[in-house]
């Protein structure tokens, strides 16, 4: 009897600890299944509650989504958090088929975030693609993206997969020192506006060892960006790796410092590209942009500067672009072109390109519409090494 009474306080303490673990504030794993998440049901509230608990932790914590298929509506996961935090996604998160909201998962104002796991963010994009006309109109209904990173700093995203996004797979806005590593992005070739990773108003963004197959740009670098590194990216199908389009909207700011290296593009509609709108809404510069050690396999327009970019007649093409392009290099780019014009450097009549360097280009045309060639306007490139085709001949 005495022994049993001595253990009573100890057992009570164990029960108390077990009952309060769910709301712990000293780190640990916040498994969404402990907040009511079950496979094949909507786990939006469970995820938000697990996030709130982890974000309030004063030591490193983790939100865990275990294996299984879960339904998810728009989830806004906001900081700042009290310590570093990880979200480990091992399951599949399915977006609603109906295209509503801004994004499936919106992560904002977070420092020292890790998003990892072997899981899949499934945007269920087919319904949205049928309604998407933003590639044809300036004014259109924006469909939800899959992952949005707003003002996230000193963070890493690794190993996850984005599947069939309704709009951009990953959108980066106002972020600094954010790395994407070994990410997989997949959507059909005909899915409109499904940019793999779009970057704007950010600094020190790094994309490494990533595979992107989609219906728009694999990576698009918008305005107001600095120090962007894109390395070991496999792209295709898609529209290539692009800086721009620039100059479409007012209040845009300069692009400075973009490095695209050791990438492979296969059967894309463009290769490495800089594009600006005629009749630009503002005037600013895009400089210090470099494309090196790139492999092209059956790529249309492998190397392109296009300052007359005006799809679907959304601008006045007679008014030249006001975006100043300078300090650009294309080096060691090799492989096959699906079109006879393998190198196109068409700059602005108003502000010609400056300091464009073209070194060691070896591209072969695999079609029958004439010899391989280059096209140039309003640019005097600095040329050295191998020239195939001859540059600006």
Encode pLDDT of 313-329 as tens digits.
878 888 999 999 999 99
- Say yes or no: 193 and 237 in one domain: no
pLDDT at 11: 39
- Distance CA(199)–CA(242), nearest Å, equals 11
Q: Is residue 9 part of a domain?
A: no
**Whether residues 106 and 185 fall in one domain:** yes
Same domain for 234 and 202, yes or no, is: no
Tell me the per-residue pLDDT of 99-134, one tens digit each, with 9 for 90 and over: 889 999 999 999 999 999 999 999 999 988 987 776
What is the band of 282 on the pLDDT scale with cuts at 50, 70, 90?
confident
Same domain (yes/no): 189, 235: no
In a domain, 18, yes or no: no
4 lies in some domain: no
> Could you tell me the CA-to-CA distances from 144 to 33, 110, 132, 163, 268 in Å, in that order?
26, 21, 11, 13, 25
Q: Is residue 260 part of a domain?
A: yes
| Residue 302 and residue 188 in one domain | no
Same domain, 251 and 363: yes
Phi-psi region of 298 (alpha: psi -120 to 50; beta: other; left: phi over 0): left
Could you tell me which residues are beta bridge partners of residue 267? none
Q: What angle do CA 241, 89, 54 make, to 5 degrees?
A: 115
Pair 305, 354 in one domain: yes
Clarify whether residues 331 and 252 are in a common domain: yes
Cα–Cα distances in angstroms (integers) from residue 378 to residues 167, 305, 351, in the given order: 35, 11, 8
Share of residues in the chain with pLDDT > 90 (%):
84
Tell me what pLDDT residue 3 has. 40
Query: 239 and 187 in one domain?
Result: no
Residue 134 gets which letter from DSSP? T
What lies within 8 Å, CB to CB, of 256 at 6+ separation is: 225, 226, 227, 285, 286, 287, 288
| 171 and 288 inside one domain | no
pLDDT of residue 337: 98
Range(s) of the domain holding residue 168: 23-134+142-206
CATH number at residue 67: 2.160.20.10
Query: Is the same domain home to 255 and 127?
Result: no
Using CA atoms, how far residue 260 sits from 224, 274, 330, 348, in Å, is 17, 12, 10, 23
Q: What are phi and psi of 269, to 5 degrees?
A: -80, -15
CB 246 within 8 A of CB 276: yes
325 close to 274: Cβ distance less than 8 angstroms: yes
Domain count, the chain: 2
Domain-embedded: residue 17: no
Kindly report the backbone phi and psi dihedral angles of residue 139, in degrees, each rounded to the nearest multiple of 5, phi listed first. -105, 115
pLDDT at 289 over 50: yes
Residue 265 included in any domain = yes
Check pLDDT > 70 for residue 201: yes
Q: Is residue 382 included in any domain, yes or no?
A: yes
Q: What is the mean pLDDT of residues 222-239?
A: 98
Q: Which helix (H) or strand (E) holds 20?
A: helix 2-20
Asked whether the predicted pLDDT for residue 26 surpasses 70, the reply is: no
Please name the residue that has the structure tokens 């909201």: 101
As beta bridge partners, residue 275 has 306
The overall pTM is greater than 0.85: yes
Q: Are residues 341 and 197 in the same domain?
A: no
Provide the annotated active-site residues. Answer: 239
CB-based contact 275:245 (threshold 8 Å) = yes
pLDDT-derived band at 12 (thresholds 50, 70, 90) equals: very low
* C-alpha to C-alpha distance for 23 and 57, rounded to whole angstroms: 9
Position 344 scores a pLDDT of: 98
- Is 272 part of any domain? yes
């Amino acid at each position: 009897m005495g022994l049993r009474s001595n253990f009573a306080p100890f057992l009570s303490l164990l029960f108390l600890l077990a009952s309060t673990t769910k709301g712990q504030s000293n780190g640990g794993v916040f498994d969404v299944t402990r907040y009511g998440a079950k496979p094949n049901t909507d786990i939006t509230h469970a995820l938000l509650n697990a996030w709130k608990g982890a974000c309030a932790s004063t030591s490193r914590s983790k939100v865990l989504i275990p294996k299984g298929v879960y339904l998810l509506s728009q989830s806004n996961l906001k900081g700042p958090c009290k310590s570093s935090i990880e979200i480990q996604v091992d399951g599949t998160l399915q977006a609603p088929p109906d295209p509503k909201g801004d994004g499936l998962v919106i992560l904002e104002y977070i420092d020292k975030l890790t998003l990892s796991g072997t899981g899949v963010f499934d945007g269920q994009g087919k319904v949205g693609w049928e309604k998407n006309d933003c590639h044809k109109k300036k004014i259109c209904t924006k469909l939800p993206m899959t992952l949005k990173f707003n003002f996230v700093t000193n963070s890493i995203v690794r190993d996850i997969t984005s599947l069939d996004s309704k709009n951009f797979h990953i959108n980066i806005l106002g972020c600094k020192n954010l790395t994407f590593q070994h990410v997989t992005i997949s959507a059909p070739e005909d899915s409109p506006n499904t940019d793999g990773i779009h970057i704007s108003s950010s600094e020190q963004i790094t994309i490494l060892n990533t595979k992107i197959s989609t219906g728009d740009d694999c990576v698009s670098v918008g305005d107001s960006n600095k120090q962007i590194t894109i390395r070991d990216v496999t792209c295709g199908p898609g529209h290539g790796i692009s800086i721009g389009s620039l100059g479409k909207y007012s209040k845009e700011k300069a692009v400075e410092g973009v490095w695209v290296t050791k990438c492979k593009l296969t059967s894309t509609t463009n290769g490495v590209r800089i594009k600006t709108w005629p009749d630009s809404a503002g005037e600013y510069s895009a400089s210090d942009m470099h494309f090196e050690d790139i492999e092209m396999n059956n790529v249309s327009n492998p190397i392109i500067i296009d300052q007359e970019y005006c799809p679907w007649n959304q601008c006045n093409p007679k008014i030249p672009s006001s975006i100043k392009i300078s300090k650009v290099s294309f080096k060691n780019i090799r492989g096959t072109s699906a079109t006879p014009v393998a190198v196109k450097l068409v700059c602005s009549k108003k502000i010609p390109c400056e300091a464009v360097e073209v070194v060691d280009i070896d591209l072969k045309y695999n079609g029958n519409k004439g010899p391989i060639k280059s096209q140039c306007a309003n640019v005097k490139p600095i040329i050295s090494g191998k020239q195939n085709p001859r540059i600006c001949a």
